[in-house]
Chains A and B, each alone.
Chain A
Amino acid sequence: MSEPRQDPQVKRLPDDVMDIQLGPSHPAMHGIIKLDTKLSGETVVDMEVSMGYLHRAFEKMCEHRDWNQNVVFTDRLNYCSAAANNCAYMSAVEKLAGIELPARAQWMRVIVSELSRVADHLTCVAASVMELGGLSVYLYLIEAREEIYMIFDKICGSRLTHSVARVGGMAYDLYDGFEDDIERVFALTRKFMDQGHVMLTRNRIFYDRMRDTGTVSEADAIDFGFTGPVLRSTGCAYDIRKAMPYWTYDQVEFDVPTGERGDNYDRYLIRMEEMEQAMRIVEQAIEKIPEGDVFVHDYKIFVPPKKETYNHIEGLIHHFELVMNGPQIKAGDAYFAIESPNGEHGYYVVSEGGGMPYRVRARPTCMPMTMFFPEMVKGSMIADIIPTFGSINMIGGELER
């Protein structure tokens, strides 16, 4: 990092340490978090992060609902990529219960997760650029995100909180004409991303504000528990989709982009490239997805089709049992993690047997990044807080659950 420019004309500001409190409701903070910052002049000397302003008792609520009902809470963890959370939670439950999903359901989980990855990265890049003043990029990228929301709207009837997964499968199948929509939307997304590249990637102002700010080293990042794009920007290529392929990620081709310097600019480039890779995965998945059902044919796990429920007493009883008591999951515990847009998003589920979880723990993906945020900005200028905070993609719902 180059030395800050020393202008002899400008008198140095006094060295008294000044306390500035950024947050909980602050224009430069998207999300509610409090940064107690100590400044000397404009240099950040020390910082302390306070969180908990969006604690909504996700884990406690899960102990009071049955396994399927909890899916609506997982929507609201990382609300930028709700479908990925649904699938991760349900896969953890299925791992505990020992349920093997049909191939089409696994492919569909790949598709919705990658679609939500595109939406998440679009939101992250757009919001962080907007905070730097690039409003037009924001308008373009959010327009692309809007189209992806429309696809989800057609799949499950909800733009943001999808709740697409259930224990033992998916609640909805892909609709007719999905391939055409994907083709159209991806063409549009690529167009807007190209415009984003034109406006940002070689933009001098953007480059100077992002390059070599918010730097973190690889050893530190691993020690802090960073995962996802922030870890990969330091050069460590840890991606669960490659390391421990789940669902059908071993049958698709994609690259894992890594950075070199671990700074904001690397993270921006990684996010842009990951969107491209995610679209590539979806396009392959549409080619390879087999015909069939998207749920297991075990009516003790997944609700029978309506035809069974209305016409046969057995179907009705199974429906009643599943709705009233929930799917019965054997006692034990399991941990299942996916590579969510933000990093490793894992669920640790504990069952005592029966229809409700004993304990559900969601690994807060962005918590290490947020809580060790001071380590990334100490010694730099106060203006560097904004791009750095944007690039770690803090999501309140997931951070504080």
Chain B
Amino acid sequence: MGIEKALAGKEGFLTTKLEAVLGWARKYSLFQYPFVTACCGMEFMSVMNSHYDLARFGAEIPRFTPRQSDLLFVVGTINHKLSPTLLTVWEQMTDPKWCIAFGVCASTGGVYDNYAAVPGIDHIIPVDVYVAGCPPRPESVLKGLMRLQDKIQNRKLIDDYPELRADAR
């Protein structure tokens, strides 16, 4: 702490952990890829719009190519016919990447417990946050996004470099 005190009057900086800075920067600049399939898309439009305003959380800009985005919003039912597409989109995204299952259909299949729908996209890709509701109200989506921001903030640097782990060496 001595350095800070010495430099306080001149340049003005503070020390922190690299992890914390990375988390802070990442959680307020989420570039999302909306994989909108079904009914939840209507609520997704509401969330994006001025009334609920996702921009307050720094996640308002959709990137329509998976390669430029780091948050995958899976909005709506995924059926078996669409599952290869979802997997391809997820694999095209670059690390670090996160995924939100928007609504019960994406989370568990919801009411569509039948031959066509995938019972939860976690059968296909890993999911970070599940938002319940059919469709979820915009408030719960914002809650889900804040949960994800917490998760990003608490991400450990070692998670980005799994090959540096002690047990991997």
Contacts and interface: CB of A to CB of B under 8 A. Distances in A.
A contacts B: CB pair < 8 Å: yes
Contact of B42 (A27, A72, A160): A160
Interface of B: 35-39, 41-43, 45-46, 49-51, 62, 64, 76-77, 79, 81-82, 85, 89, 111-112, 114-117, 134-135, 137
Interface of A: 24-27, 30-32, 52-57, 60-61, 72-73, 75-76, 79-80, 123, 127, 138-139, 142-143, 146, 149, 159-161, 396-397
Nearest to B51: A146
A80 B42 contact: yes
Contacts of B39: 75-76, 79, 160-161, 397
A76 B114 contact: no
Nearest to A75: B39
A54 B112 contact: no
B70 to A, nearest CB: 17
Contacts of B89: 25
Nearest to A80: B42
B114 A57 contact: yes
Contact of A160 (B43, B51, B85): B43
Q: Is the interface of B mostly helix, strand, loop or mixed?
A: loop
Contacts of B62: 27
A72 B111 contact: yes
B82 A24 contact: yes
A25 B35 contact: yes
A75 B38 CA distance: 12
Contacts of B115: 57, 60
Contacts of A161: 39, 134-135
B130 to A, nearest CB: 19
B81 A142 contact: no
Nearest to B80: A55
Given A27-B64, A53-B81, A79 B50 contact: no
B56 to A, nearest CB: 15
B43 A52 contact: no
A129 B114 CA distance: 36
A397 B38 contact: yes
